[in-house]
């Protein structure tokens, strides 16, 4: 199988992003985001998305927002059939490079403390925990803490992954 193709996803891909979000977060506590919500987000200042396409279909996406020298990873997800093939690592590397190109020096995100897959991904991508919000996410028996993570970004002049 060929490596995935990474493309910037504008409002024209809102339905595709909503489908990927529904698949990626199925069975998790997050509700599915609608195409209209993606249109709204992608129309807001500083917000952009990157999608990954594999030979056998849409594989995943990342959505981020840059405000001055700070950026936030709003969400990232990979369709269940495409996991553990480096799709999220590729998306995150490209999102980090794109944030740096847009002027951000650091990228923040929020992750549930029990999301082992996401924590593994983020740690492997250079993020470290900088804050904890106790009981931030609803859990099945008790609330789950939210972890704030941060990565310092390579400046726009640094090495970036191929588009
Ligand atoms: C988290 C998620 C995006 C990872 O996507 P992925 O494409 O499978 O990740 P990758 O293949 O790029 O994995 C990169 C690294 O992350 C870690 N990782 C990924 N999945 C993991 C898992 N299930 N358990 C532990 N570590 C995991 C590993 O360190 C992995 O490197 P390795 O495969 O060399 O061991 C995917 O599981 C997902 O969509 N989950 C549901 C949505 C979600 O939780 N999003 C994050 C919200 S904060």
Summarize pLDDT for 20-73 with one digit per residue, the tens.
Answer: 999 999 988 789 999 999 999 999 999 999 999 999 999 999 999 999 999 999
> Radius of gyration (Cα) for the chain, nearest Å?
15
- The answer as to whether 161 is a domain residue is no
State the pLDDT confidence band at 163, using cuts at 50, 70 and 90.
Answer: very low
- The answer as to whether 160 is a domain residue is no
**Per-residue model confidence (pLDDT) at position 138:** 85
Q: Give the rounded distance of the alpha carbon of 91 from its chain centre.
A: 7
- The answer as to whether 157 is a domain residue is no
Give the span between the Cα atoms of 66 and 64, in whole angstroms.
Answer: 7
- The answer as to whether 159 is a domain residue is no
- The answer as to whether 18 is a domain residue is yes
Which residue, chain included where needed, has tokens 């990474």?
A: 6
- The answer as to whether 37 is a domain residue is yes
Which residue, chain included where needed, has tokens 């936030």?
A: 72
- Per the structure, the count of domains in the chain is 1
CATH of the domain at 79: 3.40.630.30
> Which of 23, 83, 111, 125 for mutating ligand 1's site (highest number of atoms within 8 Å of CB)?
83
Which of 93, 7, 87 is CA-nearest to residue 49? Answer: 7
**For ligand 1, is residue 52 a contact (CB within 6 Å)?**
no
- The answer as to whether 108 is a domain residue is yes
Which two structure tokens, joined as six digits, stand for 28? 């998790």
Give, in order, the Cα–Cα distances in Å from 146 to each of 33, 41, 103, 112: 20, 22, 27, 5
pTM (2 decimals)? 0.94
User: Model confidence over 69-122: pLDDT tens digits?
Assistant: 999 999 999 999 999 999 999 999 999 999 999 999 999 999 999 999 999 999
- Whole domain around residue 90: which residue ranges? 5-152
**Per-residue model confidence (pLDDT) at position 156:** 52
- The answer as to whether 25 is a domain residue is yes
Q: Do 100 and 153 contact (CB within 8 A), yes or no?
A: yes
> Which of 31, 90, 120, 145 for mutating ligand 1's site (highest number of atoms within 8 Å of CB)?
120
Which two structure tokens, joined as six digits, stand for 107? 């990228």
């Amino acid at each position: 199988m060929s490596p995935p193709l990474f493309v910037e996803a504008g409002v024209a891909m809102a339905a595709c992003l909503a489908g990927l979000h529904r698949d990626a977060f199925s069975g998790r506590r997050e509700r599915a985001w609608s195409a209209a919500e993606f249109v709204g987000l992608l129309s807001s200042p500083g917000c952009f998305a990157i999608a990954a396409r594999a030979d056998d279909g849409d594989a995943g996406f990342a959505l981020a927002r840059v405000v001055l020298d700070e950026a936030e990873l709003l969400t990232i997800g990979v369709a269940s059939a495409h996991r553990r093939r480096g799709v999220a690592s590729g998306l995150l590397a490209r999102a980090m490079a794109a944030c740096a190109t847009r002027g951000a020096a650091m990228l923040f995100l929020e992750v549930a403390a029990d999301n082992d897959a996401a924590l593994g991904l983020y740690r492997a991508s250079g993020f470290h925990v900088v804050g904890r919000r106790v009981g931030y996410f609803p859990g099945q028996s008790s609330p789950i803490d939210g972890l704030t993570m941060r990565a310092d970004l390579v400046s726009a002049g640094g090495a970036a992954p191929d588009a």
